[in-house]
Amino acid sequence: MTAMRVDVKVVMLGKESVGKTSLVERYVHHRFLVGPYQNTIGAAFVAKAINIGEKMITLGIWDTAGSERYEAMSRIYYRGARAAIVCYDLTDSSSFLRAKFWVKELQTFEEHCKIYLCGTKNDLIEADRSMRQVDYHDVQDFAEEIGAHHFETSSKTGNNVDELFIKVALDFSNSALELMRDEKGVDLGHKKDSYFYACCHH
C-alpha cells in the first residue's frame, strides 16, 4: 500500500459490460483478461502516472459499476472528476442510450468535467462489420454538439486505448497551463487540485 498524489480524477461511466474495467486493465496493466465476465461491484480505483512532455501527471481512475443497481453510487464517484470516459459498446445500441444518460448527468451536475465518448470492442466490428450497432458519424455529431472527444477502442487488441488516456492527460496538462497563464504570479503548485488516495498496486 503506497500513498500517491493524484493530479486528475478520471471516472469511467457506462452501461454494465460495455468494457470499462477491460479498458483500465489494458491501459494500466497492458493485458486483456479472458474468462467469465465479472461485474464490478461499487467501484475500483487505480492510479497511473504518465509523462506529458517534461511533466508527470498522475491519473486517478475510478472504474464504476455499470449495473443500474449501483447508479446512485456511481454519482458519488463522478463528483469532482476532471474527466469522464463515458463508454458504450459498439455492438449494443442500448449502451449508447445509456451513455447519453451519463452525459446529461455530467452536464447537469459536473459542468467542469471534460467528457470523452468511448466506443468499445472495436475488434468485434473489425472482424464482422455487420456487428456494428452504433454509427460512427452519429456519435461524432453528438460529440461535437456536446464538445466532447470521441474514440473507438479495443481492449482486446489495445487499439486506441493509450491514445484515449494520453488525450485525457494532455488536455488536463493544457488546462493547467492555461490556469497558470490566467493566474500569473501565483504559485500553481499550491493552487492546483490535488487528491490524495491510498493506492493498491496489483
Ligand X SMILES: Nc1nc2c(ncn2[C@@H]2O[C@H](COP(=O)(O)OP(=O)(O)OP(=O)(O)O)[C@@H](O)[C@H]2O)c(=O)[nH]1
The residues that touch ligand X, with contacts defined as CB under 6 A, are: 14, 16-22, 37, 39-40, 65-67, 120-121, 123-124, 154-156
- Which triple of cell numbers denotes residue 12? 469511467
Nearest approach in angstroms of CB 117 to ligand X is 15
Nearest approach in angstroms of CB 31 to ligand X is 11
SS3 123: helix
Q: Look up residue 70 and give its DSSP letter.
A: G
Closer of 7 and 98 to ligand X (Cβ):
98
Q: Kindly provide the b/e burial profile for residues 109-145, where b requires at least 16 CB atoms within 10 angstroms of the residue's own CB.
A: ebeebbbbbbbbbbbbbeeeeeebebeeeebeebbee
Length, in residues, of the chain: 202
- State which residue has the least CB distance to ligand X: 66
Nearest approach in angstroms of CB 22 to ligand X is 3
Within 10 Å of residue 101's Cβ, how many Cβ atoms?
16
Nearest approach in angstroms of CB 155 to ligand X is 4
Give the residue among 189, 200, 164, 177 at the shortest CA–CA distance from 20.
164
Closer of 58 and 155 to ligand X (Cβ):
155
Closer of 9 and 121 to ligand X (Cβ):
121
Closer of 32 and 197 to ligand X (Cβ):
32
